[in-house]
Each structure stands twice: as structure tokens, then as C-alpha cells.
Amino acid sequence: MRVLVTDNIMSRFVAELTQADAGNEWTIANTWSEQQVIAALPDTDVLVCSSMSSTMAAAASRLRLVHVTGAGFDKIPLAELAPEIRVANTFHHGEAIAEHVIMTALMLSRRVIPVDREMRVGTWRTVANDLSEPFHGTLRGRTLGLLGFGGIGQEVARLASGLGMRVRAVRHNPAGFVPEDLTLDWVGSLDELPELLGSSDIVVVTLPLSDATRGVIDARALHQMRATGILINVARGPLIDEDALVEALTEKRIGGAALDVWWGAPSADGAAPASAARFADFDTVVLTPHYSGHALRTFQLRAADIAANVDSLAHGRPLAHVVH
């Protein structure tokens, strides 16, 4: 079979993709133009990608499998694919994202950004030499609230519980499955979000984006958070009302925020989305470029999943993680 890899990140894992593959032809095409990709698609059996245009779908006359390189497949034109084409995805990012959540929670709880800035200009300020300096807290004994309790939320809960935190959650189905190794302090429905917000020291957004969840953290929700509350978003930017969050931070109605996802996308030349500039001057905000899941292990395991599915397709075995 002929496999075409257009994803920029996965192009760095050729060894993992082809390690046990002796019979398929792999072509790394992450630097190709769309026109070059379209020209190659009529002779391609498997497309490994993070996105696919309608024009590409129309050209894929021989395609049998589209394998996206992560969990999201919203950039694949499913309705325009031929009926026989399957789409599969892969995961493994939960552990890395959970570590990012704990890292940013600690950074904000311990005021790392302003303290780092002071040290860089030669100022040494601690509770030992400045009586106005606040003590920082620990995560142990505090409450972490999760919006969403899927794979990422469960990994966050594991780390938070291990650090001695109480964990609460709201989810679409509050009676849904909870892994045996996790004990939640409370579980509610999305309608009970005010209870979660008012009782949590750290609120972590892990919900998928949909018409029902867009703007779920709006001005009203931010008013329901504690004045010292920290909001961490590792899901999708539009789950939070951007203007309302800027206002809440400006008026210091919440303690801080960590934003790994944004409203808008970076430009082709690597400029951050315009929304990032609105938060750049807050020393109570941690800004990262949607990289919380970008651990080496994440992509090594994803490459192994993709290679296994390509091998299964070649030998007529069932595929894993088929989403379409």
C-alpha cells in the first residue's frame, strides 16, 4: 500500500512509523504544497494528516483510510469522503496535558510570573524581608473542579488526587463511569456548574467544543468563581467568553488563568493569534501555544498506533479507533 504523511509533527517519527513495516511505501509530504498532495492522492491508499480539504477528498479515488494524528477529526470533511473510506484517530495526550495543568496551577498559586520578573531585574522579595509579601499555598487540601470527565479529565484527577487535592466534576452524564482508582468528592451535571465554580479553588476546562458548550464559561460563570480561583483551559478557546475573561482579570475578580488554547489560529509565519495580545500584560496569566500535550512520548505512541492500523489494513484485520 502507498501511505502519504502530510502532518508536520508526524513527519518527525518516520522510524516509529516504518519500524516493523516491510511491505508498504511511505512518503513524507509535510513540505508539499496542496497541489502536490492532490496530484499524489489518486495513487494513495492511506493519508496520515491533521487536516484535509474538500479538494483533497475529491481527488482521493483510491483512498481506504484517513488516519488523523491526534484525537480531533473536525478538520476532515467527513461528508465528502467516499463511503468506503474509514477515518481513525489516536490519543495518548492525557498524561502530558494533566502534567501541564498541575504545572500551571502551581505557577499561578506561587506567583511564579511576577516573582521571576522581579528576580530578573535584581529584586529579592520574600516573606523574610518584606512583611507585605503574601505566603503561597499548597495544592494539598485545595479543591480542583473539572468541566468534563473524559480521558484528559481523568488523568488530571489522578495527579490532583495524588497531591492531596479534593476533586469535583461536572459532566454530561453525572452517573457515568468512574475508574476504580479514582474517588470524586462530588459529580454533577453541566446544569450544576455554579456549584462546581463556587466550590473550587482551581477550575479546569476539558470539555469538547459544541454548540451546547460554546461560551459555557461566560460573564455569569466567572462571577460565580471564587475571587482567588484559577481557571485553566486545555480544551478549546471558545468554551470561554474571551471578553468576559479579560474583564474578570482586569477587575481582579478571579485569581488567574492558564490558557493553552485560543480564540483564532496562529498565522502561517508563526504569529500568535490576536487574542494572545489581550492577555500578555497580566502577570496572573500563563500563556502557552496549545502545546500541553506535545510530549515526545505522546507522539511516539501515536506513531505506533498509526503504524499498527496501517498494518492491520494491509492484512485485512479490524482497525482500532475508527471514528467514521
Q: Please tell me the distance from the alpha carbon of residue 311 to that of residue 267, in angstroms, as a whole number.
A: 36
pLDDT given at position 23? 86
Positions of the chain with pLDDT lower than 50, given as ranges: none
What is the predicted pLDDT for the residue at 56? 98
pLDDT at 70: 96
What pLDDT is recorded for position 2?
A: 97
Check if 2-92+296-314 and 94-287 are the same fold: yes
Q: Using N-to-C axis directions, what is the helix angle for 112-120 and 94-109, rounded to 10°?
A: 60
Class of 2-92+296-314 in CATH = alpha beta
Q: CA-CA distances (angstroms) from residue 5 to 48, 50, 214, 259?
A: 5, 10, 32, 30
pTM of the model: 0.94
Write down the pLDDT at residue 19.
86
Domain 94-287 is in which class?
alpha beta
- Domain boundaries defined on the chain: 2-92+296-314, 94-287
| Confidence at residue 317, expressed as pLDDT on a 0 to 100 scale | 96
